[in-house]
Amino acid sequence: MSNLQKRILTSLVVFPLAIFFIAMGGNYTVSFLYAVLILGNFEVFSAFKRKLSIIFLDVILVFSLLSILHLRNDTVSSYVLLIWVIVLTISSDVGGYVFGKLFKWKKLTKISPKKTLSGVLGSFIFSLGSVFLLGIFVHFFTGLDLEIFKQPRYYLLAIVFSLAAQLGDLCISYFKRLEKIKDTGKILPGHGGIFDRIDSLMFVVILAYILYNLKFFP
């Protein structure tokens, strides 16, 4: 089985499972986040040796999980925002992967050799598409008019969140490069470890929490 096939099969199991635990709320969400915290900490202390790297990554992990918990349980708007940033982060990653494979443009940075300018463009395009998915999601569950999501600020937020996702990915890649490792673990076939999968989301969800409290959403 190729690495791509492993990634697809793992995604078909992991993502619906994660959405299920978050959607259920209460003890389901808390238990899920505790599991991610335990596994994430195990990877941090196993894969990284530099004290500053361990402290930074652990702080980011804890803050991101607390942000998810707050956004899930605060209001309907915060819950919608949480679902959106999860979908947007996935869209950004997929867009970067697809465009990076289809269009062989200039390499972006030595930190992550597979990152290209075409991948950056693809991430932005797919992230903008997530605004439409947000509108459909909200309309389906709340009956609100889809017109509200045609406001320019949501497309601006999509670009900002996508940028945070890509910078988060590069940030974790930088720390892995310092340790001369490719993946933080092997728990997710085709993906590597927990940190390899949530590297982008951690930074996006923290930013989403900040912007939510600053009343940038809804």
pLDDT tens, position by position, 134-189: 777 666 666 655 565 667 888 899 999 999 999 988 888 888 888 888 877 677 65
Query: The pTM is what?
Result: 0.87
- Residue 191, pLDDT > 70, answer no
CB atoms within 10 A of CB 200: 26
Question: What confidence score (pLDDT) does residue 80 get?
Answer: 83
What average pLDDT does the segment 129-134 reach? 81
- Residue 89, pLDDT > 60, answer yes
Question: What confidence score (pLDDT) does residue 120 get?
Answer: 87
Q: Cα–Cα distance between 183 and 47 in angstroms, integer?
A: 8
In sequence order, what are the residues at sequence separation of 6 or more whose Cβ sits closer than 8 angstroms to the Cβ of residue 179? 47, 48, 49, 50, 53
